[in-house]
Amino acid sequence: MGHVPTRLLAAGLAAAVVLAVLATAAAAAQGGRAPAAPVPAVPALTRVPSPHPMPEGAITPLPEPKAPAAKQKAKAPPPTSTTTTIAPLPPPPPLPPPPAIPRGKGMWVWEPARTEGGNVPALVARAKAVGLTHLYVRTGSTWDGFQNGPYLDLIVPAAHAAGLKVYGWDFPKLASAPDDVGRAMTALNHVAPGGHKLDGFAADIETATEGTQFTAPAAAAYGAALRQAAGPSTLLVAVVPNPTPQMLQKYSYDAVVPAFDVVAPMVYWLNREPGTDTANAMKYLARYGKPLMPIGQAYDGGPEGGRPGVPPPAELLRFMEVAKQYGAAGVSFWSWQHANLPAWDAIRNGPSFLLAPG
């Protein structure tokens, strides 16, 4: 029984220790204060004015912010050259030369046998004596085909030797452009002895009254096909009717003229005044901007309603003078076999159409 107080004392001591430990833990959970301890008062913040001036060293100045350095743009690498070297193109071929336009006076040969009796030397001698520069020689028609090949073999070399030009002429029906053009090319391609060829070609493009099948489309097609076949350097002469008011009603000069280099109107004045007819024809055809070479009347116009007989020299001279006045490149006459001696004299005595030297 004597050990009971001791055991009670020990138990009480142990309980006190446990309570102390628990109190300490509770205080720690309350931020170090005892649950019943009062919260200390915190004085309110008050703005205190700073002394003026501020004592030196009381403020440490902030450094000025530095501007950010400019960003350097990355340099793009130089472009890779993609240039392709191209060899220069060869120069274009030179343009073909334009045809030579005849000047001076000419004469038309229809039937060689009736032209100085077919004597070529006599023809060349007369041509030179009256001052001719060129001849038109019949080479065919739609009705007769290609003609006078043997005569071309004689006249072309002889004329060239005398300084005369020779142009073939043909009468197309205009029913078939390929046929008419083929015949023209036969004449242009004909080679006479010595390599001589015609100097150009004249197409006698007549109205339906003369037996053709003239229409504007047919005439245009013939001219275009002839130019295509002959090429740009071959002289082509359009022989057209006198553009009288009556003729303008039925003949399309607009369809005929474009493919040709020269326009040769048949100014047969018959019973009219030659100067007036010539002036009217020259003025009308000037609109096409082509050299004009009117053909004068050196035949008897009586059967066609004109004055009987070959026109007198005064009329032939008047024709030539007015043609020159209106800028004709030359004149010619229909035809060799019809002209009489007074006509030949007038042709010789008429004005010159040759260009002045230089």
- Domain assignment of residue 122, given as a range: 104-349
**Mean pLDDT across the chain:** 85
On the question of pLDDT at 33 being above 50, the answer is: no
Identify the pLDDT of residue 95.
82
Number of domains in the chain: 1
CB of 111 closer than 8 Å to CB of 118: no
Residue 267 domain-assigned?
Answer: yes
Three-state SS at 280 = helix
Residue 226 domain-assigned?
Answer: yes
Identify the pLDDT of residue 21.
42
Average pLDDT score over residue span 185-200: 98
b vs e for 104-125, b when ≥16 Cβ sit within 10 Å of the residue's Cβ?
bbbbbbbebeebbeeebeebbe
Paired with 295 in beta bridges are: 266, 332
Rg (the chain; Cα; Å): 59
Residue 232 domain-assigned?
Answer: yes
Confidence of residue 96 (pLDDT cuts 50, 70, 90): confident
Identify the pLDDT of residue 88.
83
Enter the tokens of residue 219.
């005439």
pTM recorded for the entire structure: 0.75
Plot region of 303 (φ>0 → left; ψ -120 to 50 → alpha; else → beta): alpha
Paired with 333 in beta bridges are: 107, 296
Q: Residue 176: which of 208, 207, 213 has the closest Cα?
A: 213
Q: Which of 7-11, 259-263, 271-275, 279-283 has the lowest mean pLDDT?
A: 7-11
Confidence of residue 65 (pLDDT cuts 50, 70, 90): low
On the question of pLDDT at 109 being above 90, the answer is: yes
Residue 10 domain-assigned?
Answer: no
Q: What is the CATH number of the domain that holds 317?
A: 3.20.20.80
329-358 pLDDT, tens digit per residue, is 999 999 999 999 999 999 999 999 987 765
On the question of pLDDT at 193 being above 60, the answer is: yes
Average pLDDT score over residue span 50-65: 53
Residue 31 domain-assigned?
Answer: no
Identify the pLDDT of residue 295.
98
On the question of pLDDT at 4 being above 50, the answer is: no
Could you give the percent of the chain with pLDDT greater than 70?
A: 75
129-154 pLDDT, tens digit per residue, is 999 999 999 999 999 999 999 999 99
Residue 50 domain-assigned?
Answer: no
Confidence of residue 89 (pLDDT cuts 50, 70, 90): confident
Average pLDDT score over residue span 171-194: 98
Residue 44 domain-assigned?
Answer: no
271-328 pLDDT, tens digit per residue, is 999 999 999 999 999 999 999 999 999 999 999 999 999 999 999 999 999 999 999 9
Residue 98 domain-assigned?
Answer: no
Identify the pLDDT of residue 76.
58
On the question of pLDDT at 62 being above 90, the answer is: no
Cα 222 from chain centroid? 23
**Residue 351 CB: number of other CB atoms within 10 A?**
13
